[in-house]
Amino acid sequence: MEPLSERLRPRSLDEVLGQPHLTGPKGLLRRMLEAKRLSSMVLFGPPGTGKTTLAQILAEGVGKPFLRLSAVEAGVKEVRAVVERARKEGGLVLFLDEVHRFNKAQQDALLPHLESGLLTLVGATAENPAFELTPALRSRLRFFPLRPLSEEDLLALLKKALTDPRGLPETPFEEEALRLLAQAAGGDARFALNTLELAASLGRVDKGSVREALGAERFAMDRGGDLFYDLVSALHKSLRGSHVDASLYYLARLLKAGADPLYLARRLIRVAVEDVGLADPLALRLAVAAKEAYEALGSPEGELALVEATVYLALAPKSNSVYVAWQKAEAAAKAHPEAPVPLHLRNAPTGLAKALGHGRGYAYYHEDKEGSFAQDYLPEGLEGLRLFEATGEGWEERVRERLRALRERFGS
Q: What is the pLDDT of residues 187-224, one digit of tens each?
A: 889 989 999 999 999 888 998 898 888 873 344 444 43
- Crossing angle of the two packed helices 261-271 and 282-297, in degrees rounded to 10: 170
Q: What's the rounded Cα separation, in Å, for the pair 177 and 295?
A: 39
User: Quick check: is 7 in a domain?
Assistant: no
Q: Does the CA dihedral 171-176-179-180 come out positive or negative?
A: negative
pLDDT interval class at 393 (50, 70, 90): confident
Do 193 and 302 have their domain in common?
A: no
DSSP per-residue codes, 72-105:
TT--HHHHHHHHHHHHHHT-EEEEEETGGG--HH
Q: What is the CATH number of the domain that holds 259?
A: 1.20.272.10
Q: What is the pLDDT of residue 222?
A: 42
Decide which of 377 and 30 is more confident.
30
- The domain that holds 179 is classified in CATH as 1.10.8.60
193 shares its domain with 231: no
Predicted confidence band of residue 74 (pLDDT cuts 50, 70, 90):
confident
214, 241, 263 - which closes a domain: 214
126 shares its domain with 23: yes
As for how many domains the chain has, the answer is 4
Spatial separation of the C-alpha atoms in residues 224 and 127, rounded to whole Å = 21
Phi, psi of 41 (to 5 degrees): -155, 170
Question: Are residue 175 and residue 267 in the same domain, yes or no?
Answer: no
Q: Which domain holds residue 341?
A: 336-410
What does the mean pLDDT of the chain come to?
88
- Whether 116 has a pLDDT exceeding 70, the answer reads yes
410: CB partners within 8 A, 6+ apart: 373
232 shares a domain with 185:
no
Choosing from 145, 180, 195, the residue where a domain stops is 145
Whether the CB-CB separation of 269 and 288 falls below 8 Å is answered with yes
Q: What is the CATH number of the domain that holds 26?
A: 3.40.50.300
Residues 130 and 180 in one domain: no
Distances (CA, A) of 209 to 104, 174, 205, 212, 214: 47, 11, 6, 5, 8
Same domain, 37 and 99: yes
Mean pLDDT confidence for 299-306: 91
Asked whether the predicted pLDDT for residue 150 surpasses 80, the reply is yes
**pLDDT, tens digit (0-9, with 9 covering 90-100), for 241-285:** 999 999 999 999 888 877 888 889 999 999 999 999 999 999 999
Question: Do 300 and 232 share a structural domain?
Answer: yes
Say how far apart CA 122 and CA 136 lie, in whole Å. Answer: 16
Tell me the pairing of strands 142-145 and 41-44: parallel
Instruction: Examine the fold and report which residue of 214, 235, 259 is the final residue of a domain before the chain moves on.
Output: 214
